[in-house]
């Protein structure tokens, strides 16, 4: 079994080397372009510290809270439905075709409808992000539930297990990696959708901060917001990786 501490250090080292490459490319581009639209990294990082904690922390907290609520909502909806589709052929034959038709539809195009149905408050922003994550998770959970060997179910049934025991002790452990995979795949898209959703009818969130800075020609502040949003995304991605290392056996 791999040492968890060593695994964490390896992840931190990989993130550090990746960040160094990105900052290096950014610095070179800033020198080549030599335009105030693309300020160099040291200027942006200095501005990040100036804007922290106020107002940058408040905007980051608002965005992070929306994403976490969306993750919870998407998981609560996609997990039972995905298991149902994976274990019940009738439900799968009825519902999967509709889900397949909805999956390729750009969810950001549904934002006006979501605003009309849920209003322009937090519910709409959380709802549109949850919608993105829901479809990402639904199909991977369904496929994982479908792939559970029938022999496992028969063994548990032979020991007197009920259907609820099958879900608890066989299906859920099998779909847990799929849940985390769906989250990992969906985080980037979810943040992109959230960024767009935060440019309407709100004054809090990193999306609002970035667009507001851009409209004011405050390009250093704009880049600081982009860095903050990137940190939020990396943090979420790292959390999913850590959860996988703790709960999923390889």
- Report d(CA 172, CA 75) in Å as an integer: 13
In 64-173, where do the E strands start and end? Answer: none
Averaged pLDDT, 149-165: 78
- Which helix H or strand E contains 236, and what residues bound it? helix 219-247
- Least confident window among 46-50, 150-154, 214-218: 150-154
First-to-last C-alpha distance (Å) of the chain: 9
Say which CATH topology domain 42-247 has: MetI-like fold (1.10.3720)
DSSP code of residue 149: -
Averaged pLDDT, 56-79: 94
Q: Say what the pLDDT of residue 183 is.
A: 87
Residue with tokens 């997990």: 79
Reported pTM: 0.85
Q: How confident is the model at residue 178 (pLDDT cuts 50, 70, 90)?
A: confident
Q: How confident is the model at residue 1 (pLDDT cuts 50, 70, 90)?
A: very low
What is the chain's length? 250
**199 has pLDDT over 80:** yes
**80 has pLDDT over 70:** yes
Q: What is the mean pLDDT of the chain?
A: 88
Q: Say what the pLDDT of residue 249 is.
A: 63
pLDDT, one tens digit per residue, over 100-121 is: 999 988 888 899 999 999 998 8
**64 has pLDDT over 60:** yes
Domain boundaries along the sequence of the chain? 1-34, 42-247
**5 has pLDDT over 60:** no
Averaged pLDDT, 148-158: 79
Burial of 67 (0-12, 13-18, 19+ CB in 10 A): buried
Higher pLDDT, 158 or 26: 26
Q: Say what the pLDDT of residue 7 is.
A: 62
Q: How confident is the model at residue 85 (pLDDT cuts 50, 70, 90)?
A: very high
DSSP code of residue 167: I
């Amino acid at each position: 079994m791999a040492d968890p501490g060593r695994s964490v250090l390896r992840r931190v080292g990989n993130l550090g080397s990746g960040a160094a490459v990105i900052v290096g490319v950014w610095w070179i581009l800033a020198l080549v372009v030599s335009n105030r639209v693309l300020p160099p990294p040291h200027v942006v990082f200095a501005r990040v510290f100036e804007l922290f904690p106020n107002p940058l922390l408040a905007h980051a907290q608002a965005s992070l809270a929306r994403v976490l609520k969306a993750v919870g909502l998407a998981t609560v909806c996609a997990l039972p439905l995905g298991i149902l589709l994976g274990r019940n052929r009738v439900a799968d034959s009825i519902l999967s075709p509709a889900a397949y038709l909805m999956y390729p539809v750009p969810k950001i195009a549904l934002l006006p409808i979501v605003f009309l149905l849920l209003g322009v408050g937090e519910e709409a922003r959380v709802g549109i992000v949850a919608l993105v994550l829901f479809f990402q998770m639904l199909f991977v959970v369904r496929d994982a539930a479908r792939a559970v060997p029938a022999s496992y179910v028969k063994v548990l049934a032979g020991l007197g297990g009920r259907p609820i025991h099958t879900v608890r002790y066989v299906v859920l452990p099998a779909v847990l990696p799929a849940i985390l995979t769906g989250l990992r795949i969906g985080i980037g898209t979810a943040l992109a959708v959230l960024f767009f959703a935060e440019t309407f009818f709100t004054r809090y969130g990193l999306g609002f901060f970035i667009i507001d800075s851009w409209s004011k020609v405050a390009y250093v502040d704009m880049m600081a917001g982009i860095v903050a949003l990137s940190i939020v995304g990396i943090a979420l991605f790292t959390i999913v990786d850590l959860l996988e290392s703790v709960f999923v056996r390889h």
